[in-house]
Structure formats: structure tokens, C-alpha cells
């Protein structure tokens, strides 16, 4: 939502990131935006206990390439979650629609194929100002939100399948 600060989180409600290995794949396109989101993600991961050397970062040329970058990262590293960071800003052609749809579907497919959550941290804004506002501006930083999501999804991924989940949740 346009009025939600993306950086607000209650650390007491977030599982420890102490034992997690997190991957981040960052689009070089709109680097002013994606670098801010990556910085926010890394700072938040570390704040929540993830050890700096357990965070792997790869860069790809654009948002469309995020899907392949995340796929290779999942296949070549033992990770608890991967964050895909990109920014696509509406232009005068349909290119925006094709890129946004391709990245969205690609990340969905990765989440269905692999047992490693891939977090969608791709801004799809109408203007550059909207992206600035969501990457460390007046609305916070989507990278922070993605880091919290990665930790929470890694926690779900790592649930011991031998536990009684319903009983565990009700305790």
C-alpha cells in the first residue's frame, strides 16, 4: 500500500537468523534503487542474527535475469532462502508488462520446483519517484520487508517434518 512503511518490523516476532544461509540476487538495472534495497536487506538480515559471511550476493544485468540467477544460486548453494531484488519502472511500451509478468511467473515456478523459498523483492512502479519512495525513501525499504520474509520463510522451510505441526502451533 502507498501508506505502509515497508521497514517497520517487530524483531521479537521474527525467528533467529543465526543459523541461516541467505542468497541475494540483485538486478543491475535501476541500480540506484536496487542497491538501496539490497543494503536494506543485508542490514536487516544481520540485525536479525544472520552472520554476514552467510549472505551470498550475485548480480545480474536486469530484472528478467533474476529468475535464472536465483535458479543457479539455489542449485549451486545450500541456502535457506533467496531474495530476488529488482526494479521495473513503467515506460511507454509494453516491455514493462512482459518483464513484470515473466519475473513474477518465473519466481512462482522456482518456489514450486525447489525446496528453497525465493522471495519476490521486485518493485513494479509507474514512476522512478515511487521506486525511490519504496527503496529507502518515505515509504521505507522493500529490501527490509524481503529480508524479514526470507527469515520467516526459511523458518517454515526448516520445520522438522517429524513434529506435530498442529500441536506445535497450539503450544
Burial of 112 (0-12, 13-18, 19+ CB in 10 A): exposed
- Residue 77 annotated to the active site: no
| Given the residues 53, 77, 95, 165, the one annotated as active site | 95
Question: What's the gap between Cα 158 and its chain centre?
Answer: 18
C-alpha cell at 154: 526459511
List beta partners, residue 121.
85
Helix (H) or strand (E) holding 26: strand 22-27
Helix (H) or strand (E) holding 35: helix 31-47
The dihedral through the CA atoms of 99, 101, 104, 108 has a sign that is negative
Annotated catalytic residues are 95
Amino acid at each position: 500500500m502507498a501508506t505502509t512503511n515497508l521497514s517497520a518490523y517487530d524483531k521479537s516476532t521474527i525467528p533467529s537468523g543465526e543459523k541461516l544461509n541467505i542468497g541475494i540476487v540483485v538486478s543491475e538495472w535501476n541500480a540506484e534503487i536496487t542497491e538501496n534495497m539490497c543494503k536494506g536487506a543485508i542490514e536487516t538480515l544481520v540485525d536479525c542474527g544472520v552472520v554476514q559471511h552467510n549472505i551470498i550476493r550475485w548480480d545480474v544485468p536486469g530484472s528478467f535475469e533474476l529468475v535464472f540467477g536465483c535458479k543457479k544460486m539455489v542449485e549451486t548453494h545450500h541456502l535457506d532462502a533467496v531474495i530476488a531484488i529488482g526494479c521495473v519502472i513503467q515506460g511507454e511500451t509494453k516491455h514493462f508488462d512482459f518483464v513484470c509478468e515473466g519475473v513474477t511467473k518465473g519466481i512462482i515456478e522456482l518456489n514450486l520446483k525447489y525446496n528453497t523459498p525465493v522471495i519476490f523483492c521486485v518493485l513494479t512502479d509507474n514512476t522512478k519517484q515511487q521506486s525511490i519512495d519504496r527503496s529507502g525513501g518515505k515509504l521505507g525499504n522493500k529490501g527490509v520487508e524481503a529480508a524479514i520474509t526470507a527469515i520467516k520463510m526459511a523458518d517454515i522451510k526448516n520445520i522438522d517434518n517429524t513434529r506435530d505441526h498442529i500441536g506445535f502451533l497450539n503450544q
